[in-house]
């Protein structure tokens, strides 16, 4: 017998520990930020307050909803609108993650081998990116230019072009500010007018790291962020603090691995499942990814760390380079060559059959179908969107839901103390990085004359 279909239940964000923490503390947090958190977590950005208010209204039917009705039995429910904010709202960001992974694999990435790279920088340089978020775009460019040198040198053909998708992440395991690049890059280069592809040999990570370090130093010097004396000091360190990680080659036919990796590179900065809010103490308990470490933070400082990872309005955290750049893709689409499969690989076709909509994304995230009627298992459909305040109120009053849950006043907690008496257990640090370090013996690398690039 087949198992009964799972029934979708609209979420209730107000019941989560994360929502209660934000609701209790956000007004106090906004009021004391400049005095207590600006030095450690960056200058206050007014856009953050807009994001918080939008999140607190996310999933609240008082702000509008869609009517979903079963065609067979007439059963109906209301689906509240979401805030559609990145990173801060776990639900909306997760929908974005699923949609991005699907779109990237169907519309951008080609059927060629790829690799996953991670480029990290030392702690002493991270503060410059915290106070000037425009530098994150330059960090992405430095990583791309370093990889392009290696990949193009490995392909003997004329004008080889690699392709890369670079996502900037700014967080570590415990929300410390740790800017680094996650890169999905072709394991080789495209060349010629017929879309040929040449697979590259394995790269020598230490020399790739040296080129990346050189380019980042030069960029920060040009921007006036560091001095030549600082560059000399950092260059003399035995352990530079720079890291370059390279993952295993991903087959062009392993669509599941590629989509999972695409989701991973833009994942949320924290996990609700690993967070516990102690409202009476005004603290947050957070568990590490491996489940072995638990740290306790003041709730206000937890919010400050969370807000440091919110992108500015319109800020791009994912960029496309080379063969995957917007310009290159646009030119191929104009000439009708964007769907061509590289000749050196076996073609499995390119079916664009998935439609990115709310119902299918929910089904993919929670493994339930939101359009299956909970009563008769028939097919439901969205029959209208209600946005007029007077109509919203009339419907909710008729259903007995109007102001069913008034927002309580925020709880007042003393701000965390700073100084010699501050406990190390309540400090959010950036000493935990998710960047894995692998020895060079994992890669049988050929020798290339990279010294000219390093000295340039």
**pLDDT at residue 448 in the model:** 36
Indicate whether 74 pLDDT > 90: no
| Contact between residue 62 and residue 29 where contact means Cβ atoms under 8 Å apart | no
Indicate whether 362 pLDDT > 90: no
Give the confidence band of 267 by pLDDT, cuts at 50, 70, 90. very high
Which is more confidently placed, 171 or 63?
A: 171
Give the confidence band of 360 by pLDDT, cuts at 50, 70, 90. low
Q: Per mean pLDDT, which range of 123-127, 200-204, 314-318, 451-455 is the poorest?
A: 451-455
Give the confidence band of 405 by pLDDT, cuts at 50, 70, 90. low
If one counts every other C-beta atom within 10 angstroms of the C-beta of residue 432, the result is 16
Q: Per mean pLDDT, which range of 133-137, 146-150, 178-182 is the poorest?
A: 146-150
If one counts every other C-beta atom within 10 angstroms of the C-beta of residue 435, the result is 16
Q: What is the torsion angle, in degrees rounded to the nearest 10, for the CA atoms of residue 170, residue 172, residue 177 and residue 179? A: -40
| Contact between residue 177 and residue 130 where contact means Cβ atoms under 8 Å apart | yes
Q: Per mean pLDDT, which range of 67-76, 117-126, 308-317 is the poorest?
A: 67-76
Average pLDDT over residues 105-123: 93
Bridge partner residues of 250 (DSSP) = 114
Indicate whether 352 pLDDT > 70: no
Tokens of 246: 């390279």
Backbone Cα Rg of the chain: 25
Average pLDDT over residues 212-218: 94
Give the confidence band of 363 by pLDDT, cuts at 50, 70, 90. low
Indicate whether 353 pLDDT > 80: no
Indicate whether 430 pLDDT > 70: no
Average pLDDT over residues 51-59: 89
Distance of CA 253 to the CA centre of its chain: 24
Taken as a whole, the chain contains a residue count of 456
**pLDDT at residue 6 in the model:** 57
Q: Look at the pTM and tell me if it is higher than 0.75.
A: yes
Return the SS3 of 189. Answer: strand
Say how far apart CA 346 and CA 111 lie, in whole Å.
9
Tokens of 83: 């805030």
Indicate whether 445 pLDDT > 90: no
Of the chain, the end-to-end C-alpha distance in Å amounts to 69
User: Residue 305 is inside which H or E element, if any?
Assistant: helix 299-307
Give the confidence band of 416 by pLDDT, cuts at 50, 70, 90. low
Collect all residues with Cβ–Cβ distance below 8 Å to 273 and sequence separation of at least 6: none
**pLDDT at residue 335 in the model:** 79
Kindly report the average pLDDT of the chain as a whole number. 79
Which is more confidently placed, 136 or 86?
A: 136
Say how far apart CA 86 and CA 54 lie, in whole Å.
11
Bridge partner residues of 188 (DSSP) = 199
Tokens of 141: 């460019």
Indicate whether 290 pLDDT > 50: yes
How buried is 20 (Cβ within 10 angstroms: 0-12 exposed, 13-18 middle, 19+ buried)?
Answer: middle
Indicate whether 3 pLDDT > 60: no
Average pLDDT over residues 383-387: 78
Indicate whether 441 pLDDT > 50: no
Which is more confidently placed, 40 or 61?
A: 40
Average pLDDT over residues 204-225: 92
Calculate what percentage of the chain has a pLDDT beyond 90: 40
Give the confidence band of 9 by pLDDT, cuts at 50, 70, 90. low
Indicate whether 320 pLDDT > 80: yes
Dihedral sign of CA atoms 355, 358, 361, 363 in order: negative
Give the confidence band of 300 by pLDDT, cuts at 50, 70, 90. very high
**pLDDT at residue 226 in the model:** 93
Say how far apart CA 368 and CA 359 lie, in whole Å.
9
Say how far apart CA 292 and CA 354 lie, in whole Å.
39
Average pLDDT over residues 10-15: 73
Collect all residues with Cβ–Cβ distance below 8 Å to 439 and sequence separation of at least 6: none
Average pLDDT over residues 147-156: 82
**pLDDT at residue 404 in the model:** 54
Return the SS3 of 257. Answer: helix
Give the confidence band of 428 by pLDDT, cuts at 50, 70, 90. very low
Pairing of strands 380-386, 318-322: unpaired
Pairing of strands 65-70, 380-386: antiparallel
Dihedral-angle region of residue 336 (phi above 0 means left; psi in -120 to 50 means alpha; beta otherwise): left
Q: Which residue has the tokens 């692998």?
A: 438
């Amino acid at each position: 017998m087949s198992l009964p279909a799972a029934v979708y239940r609209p979420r209730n964000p107000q019941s989560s520990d994360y929502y209660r923490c934000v609701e209790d503390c956000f007004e106090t947090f906004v009021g004391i930020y400049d005095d207590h958190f600006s030095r450690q977590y960056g200058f206050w950005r007014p856009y953050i307050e807009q994001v918080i208010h939008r999140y607190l209204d996310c999933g609240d039917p008082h702000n509008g909803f869609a009517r979903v009705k079963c065609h067979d039995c007439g059963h109906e429910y209301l689906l509240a609108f979401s805030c559609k904010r990145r990173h801060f709202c776990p639900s909306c960001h997760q929908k974005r993650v699923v949609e991005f992974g699907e779109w990237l694999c169907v519309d951008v990435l080609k059927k060629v081998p790829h690799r996953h790279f991670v480029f990290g920088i030392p702690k002493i340089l991270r503060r410059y990116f915290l106070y000037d978020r425009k530098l994150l775009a330059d960090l992405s460019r430095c990583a791309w230019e370093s990889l392009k040198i290696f990949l193009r040198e490995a392909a003997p053909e004329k004008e080889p072009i690699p392709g890369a998708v670079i996502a900037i992440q700014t967080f570590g395991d415990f929300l410390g500010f740790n800017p680094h690049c996650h890169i999905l890059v072709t394991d080789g280069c495209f060349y010629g007018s017929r879309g040929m592809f040449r697979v590259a040999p394995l790269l020598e990570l230490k020399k790739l790291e040296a080129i990346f370090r050189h380019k980042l130093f030069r960029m920060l010097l040009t921007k006036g962020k560091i001095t030549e004396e600082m560059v000399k000091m950092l260059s003399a360190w035995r352990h530079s603090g720079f890291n370059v990680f390279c993952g295993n080659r991903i087959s062009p036919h392993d669509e599941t691995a590629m989509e999972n990796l695409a989701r991973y590179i833009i994942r949320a900065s924290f996990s609700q499942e690993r967070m516990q809010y102690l409202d009476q103490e005004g603290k947050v308990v957070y568990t590490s990814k491996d489940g072995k470490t638990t740290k306790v933070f003041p709730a206000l400082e937890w919010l400050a760390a969370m807000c440091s990872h919110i992108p500015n309005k319109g800020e791009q955290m994912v960029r496309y380079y080379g063969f995957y750049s917007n310009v290159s893709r646009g030119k191929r689409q104009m000439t009708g060559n964007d769907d061509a499969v590289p000749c050196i690989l076996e073609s499995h076709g390119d079916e664009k059959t998935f439609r990115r909509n709310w119902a299918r994304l929910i089904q993919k995230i929670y493994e339930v179908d939101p359009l299956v009627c909970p009563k008769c298992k028939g097919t439901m459909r969205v029959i209208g969107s209600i946005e007029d305040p007077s109509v919203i109120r009339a419907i909710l009053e008729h259903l007995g839901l109007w102001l069913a849950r008034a927002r309580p006043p925020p709880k007042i907690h003393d701000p965390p103390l700073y100084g010699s008496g501050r406990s190390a257990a309540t400090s959010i640090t950036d000493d935990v990085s998710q960047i894995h370090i692998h020895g060079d013996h994992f890669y049988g690398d050929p020798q290339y004359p990279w010294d000219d690039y390093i000295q340039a």
